[in-house]
Amino acid sequence: MSRATSSLLPSIIVAMAVFVLDQITKLAIVNRLAFHESIPVVDGFLNIVHARNPGAAFSFLAGAPLWFRSLFFPAITIVAVVVVVSVIRRLPPEDRLLRLALSGVLGGALGNLCDRLRYGEVIDFIDVYWRGHHWPAFNVADSSITLAVTAVVLQTLFGSTRESHGSGAEKLPSP
């Protein structure tokens, strides 16, 4: 195995784990619940449902013509996958958190892409709500993408740079 491949192996494993977990859970929903069927898990807070989203996050563009959605969403996802893989490949191996987060984005994007190619829409099944207010249903892929993007943003805003982890002999500005 080449050095480049071995440095990508943890990212591949994380992305594949997210993808497989996402697809297994969606397959279980499709095989066990009728469309729109709901199973209460935590009364007043969480249901497992069989929902479908023909659009993007929060049903964005769900009402667009089928021909448009069937071309646009897979194309955008493929571009995103290429960009994420390119970024992961360029990251130094010590950027573990960023690699892990981007691998979560990659696995989630591939999971939802698989749904779009197979069903023409994304299978969602987690319904979180409070009283009459429901958050849009989501899935493992969506959760992974959300957590990963949150980690990237937090790392960008609050994470320390590699330079600050030096030996303590960093150069000080000259007077």
pLDDT digits (tens, 9 = 90+) for 22-55: 999 999 999 999 999 999 999 999 999 999 999 8
The CA distance from 43 to 96, in Å, is 38
Count of CB atoms situated within 10 Å of the CB of 141: 29
User: With a threshold of 0.75, does the pTM exceed it?
Assistant: yes
Q: Yes or no: say if 105 and 144 are a contact pair by the CB < 8 Å rule.
A: yes
Amino acid 146: pLDDT: 95
In sequence order, what are the residues at sequence separation of 6 or more whose Cβ sits closer than 8 angstroms to the Cβ of residue 54?
62, 66, 69, 120, 121, 122
Of the two residues 49 and 97, the one the predictor is more confident about is: 49
Among the listed ranges 88-92, 99-103, 170-174, which one has the minimum average pLDDT value?
A: 170-174
Closest CA to 140 of 163, 112, 98: 112
Query: Which residues are identified as catalytic?
Result: 124, 142
